[in-house]
Amino acid sequence: MKRRTLFSIIVITLTAGFFTLFYGMHSTWTDTRSAQAVQAATDQVNDLFKDQSHQLPSDQLNKQAIAAAETKLQQARQKANDADHAAALASAQADVDAAKHMLIVKDAVTQNSTKLDELKTLSDESQQALTELAKQKPTFVQTYQERVAQLSDQEAAVAKIASLFSDTDFKTPKPNLSSAQVQAALAAVEKLDNKQFADQVMPLISTAQDATSSDD
Question: Tens digits of per-residue pLDDT, 198-214?
Answer: 999 999 999 999 988 66
Per-residue confidence band for 193, with pLDDT thresholds at 50, 70 and 90: confident
Question: Tens digits of per-residue pLDDT, 150-191?
Answer: 999 999 999 999 999 999 899 999 999 999 999 999 999 999
Question: Tens digits of per-residue pLDDT, 13-24?
Answer: 555 454 454 444
Question: Quick check: 204 and 161 in contact, CB under 8 A?
Answer: yes
Q: How far is Cα 130 from Cα 134, in angstroms, rounded to an integer?
A: 6
Q: Over 90: is that where the pLDDT of 194 sits?
A: no
